Chain A
Amino acid sequence: MSDHDVLLDHLRRAALAADPPPAALVDSARAAFGLGRLDDELAQLLHDTATEAVGVRDAGDGPRLVSFGGVEVGADIEIADGSDGSRVTGEVSGPVTRASLQTPEATRELSLDDHGRFRTDGVRGAALRLELETESGYTVVTPWVRVG
Chain B
Amino acid sequence: MTPDDDLTILVKSAGSGDQAAWDALVARYTNLLWSVARGYRLERADAADVVQVAWLRLVEHLPRLRDPERVGAWLVTTVRRECLQVLSTRRRRGVPMDDFVLAGLPDDAAPVDAALLAEERAEGLWRVFGSIAPRCQKLLRVLMADPAPSYVDVSAALEMPVGSIGPTRARCLDQLRVLLDEAESTAGGER
Which residues in A have some Cβ–Cβ distance to B below 8 Å?
3-4, 7-8, 10-22, 24-26, 28-30, 32-38, 42, 50-51, 53-56, 59-61, 104, 126-127, 143-144, 146-148
A42: chain B residues within 8 A (beta carbon): 60
A30–B19 alpha-carbon span in the complex (Å): 8
B81: chain A residues within 8 A (beta carbon): 51, 54
Among A15, A34, A54, A148, which residue has its beta carbon within 8 angstroms of that of B144?
A: A15
Please give me the 9 A-B residue pairs with the lowest Cβ-Cβ distance, nearest first. Answer: A17-B116, A21-B34, A36-B59, A126-B49, A17-B117, A32-B55, A19-B109, A33-B22, A29-B55
Q: How many A-B residue pairs have CB under 8 A?
A: 154
Among A16, A55, A144, A148, which residue has its beta carbon within 8 angstroms of that of B57?
A: A144
Q: Which of B3-11, B23-31, B66-74, B153-161 contacts A (4 or more CB under 8 A)?
A: B23-31
Q: Which of B60, B81, B176 has the most chain A CB atoms closer than 10 A to its own CB?
A: B60
Structural contact, A7 and B60, CB atoms closer than 8 A? no
Residue of A nearest to B108 (CB): A19
Structural contact, B92 and A61, CB atoms closer than 8 A? yes
Chain B contact residue count (CB 8 A cutoff): 61
Closest approach, in angstroms, between the C-beta of A39 and any C-beta of chain B?
10
Structural contact, B22 and A30, CB atoms closer than 8 A? yes
Instruction: Give the secondary structure class of B's interface.
Output: helix
Contacts A21-B51, A55-B84 given; does A35 touch B46 at CB 8 Å: no
Structural contact, A15 and B60, CB atoms closer than 8 A? no
A24: chain B residues within 8 A (beta carbon): 48
Contact string against A for B residues 52-78, beta-carbon threshold 8 Å, 1 for contact and 0 otherwise: 110111111011000000000000000
Closest approach, in angstroms, between the C-beta of B153 and any C-beta of chain A?
15
Structural contact, A50 and B85, CB atoms closer than 8 A? yes
Among A14, A33, A126, A144, which residue has its beta carbon within 8 angstroms of that of B125?
A: A14
A25: chain B residues within 8 A (beta carbon): 30, 34, 48, 51-52
A35–B22 alpha-carbon span in the complex (Å): 12
A33–B56 alpha-carbon span in the complex (Å): 7
Q: Which of A4, A22, A33, A146 has the most chain B CB atoms closer than 10 A to its own CB?
A: A33
Residue of B nearest to A145 (CB): B53
B140: chain A residues within 8 A (beta carbon): 8, 11
